Amino acid sequence: MIKLTTESTAKAIERCRQLKPRVRFIADRTFSVQSANNSNSYTVRFDVKDGEKFGLCECKASERGFVCYHIIGAATANIYRQGLKRQTA
């Protein structure tokens, strides 16, 4: 899992804004993100440990330890879903 920080996500946020990937909910904190470059879909998972946020994608960039635009796209959906869960609790 990759720790998500302001510094580690800056480039990926910009790339996500440009490419606007499609994100589909799979299960709690798990999403499928369609690649903007080809027909591949990647599973993205999130976790929170000791108040720190982590993400993991199946793509090559994430495997190398980089925050990819797939993680950012899914993070946007995850933040929205977690907010909805808090409102209904």
- pLDDT at residue 81 is higher than 90: no
pLDDT in tens, 21-70: 999 999 999 999 998 878 899 999 999 999 999 999 999 999 999 999 99
**CA terminus-to-terminus distance, the chain:** 28
Each residue's pLDDT tens digit, 11-30: 999 999 999 999 999 999 99
Name residue, tokens 């990647």: 42
Q: How many CB atoms lie within 10 A of CB 41?
A: 16
d(CA 71, CA 59): 10
**Pairing mode of beta strands 30-34, 41-49:** antiparallel
Domain range list for the chain? 2-88
